[in-house]
Amino acid sequence: MTQLLEALAWIADPTRWSGPGSIPVRLLEHLWYTLLGVGIAALVAIPVGLLVGHTRRGRGPVVALSGAARALPTLGLVTLFGLWLGIGLTAPVLAFVILAIPSLLAGAYSACEAVDPRTVDAARAQGMTEWQILTRVEVPLGLPLLIGGVRLAAVQVVATVMLASYIGNGGLGRFIFLGLNLSDYPQMLGGSILVVALALVIDLALRLVERLTAPRGAART
C-alpha cells in the first residue's frame, strides 16, 4: 500500500510534468510508438484481412500465420531485431508490427465474415461491383469488428511499447527500466501505472468508437 502511495506521489510530483524527459514527453513518445506499430501493421493487415474475408479464400494460411506470429515472444523479437538492426526505433517498431498483425487480421476478416451472406448476395444481385460490396456493405456492417481488432492490437502494443526503452528509446518504459536499474521502486511502479492507465484509456476510447460505428438499422435484427 505504501509502495502504491509512493508511486502515486512520484507521478503527482509537479517537477515530473515539464521539461525534457518529463511524463508528458514520455507519454507522447509512448503513444507515438504505439501509433507507428499499429499504423504500419494496419496498412498491411487490414487490406489482407478484408481480401481474405471478402473472397473467403486463404483463411487457413492466414490463421496459421497469425497463430505463429502470436506465439513469438515480443521481448525476444525486440532483442533479436535490436542485435540485427542496432539501437533505434526500427527494431522495436518492427516487433510491434508483428505483435499487432494477428489481431488486426482477425478483426478485418471477421468483419467481412460476420455479414450475412444473403446481404452480400443481394448487393451483388443489384449490380454492385466486388469493390462496392466490400466498401459499401461489408465494411460498414462489419466496422465494429474491424475496430475491435484495432483495439486489441493497440492494447497489446501499448502494453509492450515499454520494451522500446529497453534498447535505448523513449517512452514510458524509460521510467520502468531506470527505476529497475536504480532500485527506485516508486519510479518503476509509477511508470507501470502510467502504462496501465494509458492502455485503459485507449481501450475505453476505442470501445466507444466501436459503439459509434455500429451500423444503424442493423441493431434490431
218 binds another protein (CB under 8 A): yes
| Coil, strand or helix at 186 | helix
One-letter amino acid at 8 equals: L
Degrees (nearest 5) of the Cα angle 196, 198, 147? 110
132 binds another protein per the rule CB under 8 A: yes
Closer by beta carbon to another protein, 13 or else 121: 121
CA angle 99, 34, 215 (to 5 degrees): 85
Binding another protein (rule: CB under 8 A), the pick from 14, 60, 117, 127 is 127
CA separation for the pair 25, 171 (Å, rounded) = 8
CA 90, 95, 96, 100 dihedral sign is: positive
15 or 221: whose CB is closer to another protein?
A: 221
Q: Which of 121, 135, 180, 205 binds another protein (CB under 8 A)?
A: 121
User: Minimal CA–CA distance to 100: which of 172, 173, 44, 174?
Assistant: 44
The reply on whether position 13 binds another protein by CB under 8 A is: no
Pick from 2, 19, 71, 220: which binds another protein (CB under 8 A)? 220
Is residue 117 at the binding interface for another protein, with CB under 8 A as the rule? no
From 39-47, 80-88, 134-142, 161-169, span contacting another protein (CB under 8 A):
134-142
Within 97-116, which residues bind another protein (CB under 8 A)? Answer: 116
Is 212 a binding residue for another protein by CB under 8 A? The answer is no
Half-sphere exposure of 117 (CA within 13 A, CB side): 3
**Interface characters, 147-166, with another protein (x: CB under 8 A):** --------------------
The DSSP code sequence of 82-135 is HHHH-SSSHHHHHHHHHHHHHHHHHHHHHHHHTS-HHHHHHHHHTT--HHHHII
| Residue 14 makes contact with another protein by CB under 8 A | no
Kindly state whether residue 125 participates in binding another protein, applying the rule CB under 8 A. Answer: yes
Out of 126, 135, 197, 212, the only residue in the binding site for another protein (CB under 8 A) is: 126
Q: Which helix (H) or strand (E) holds 64?
A: helix 59-71
Minimum distance from CB of 144 to another protein (Å)? 12
The contact set with another protein (CB under 8 A) reads 116, 118-119, 121-129, 132, 137, 140-141, 215-221
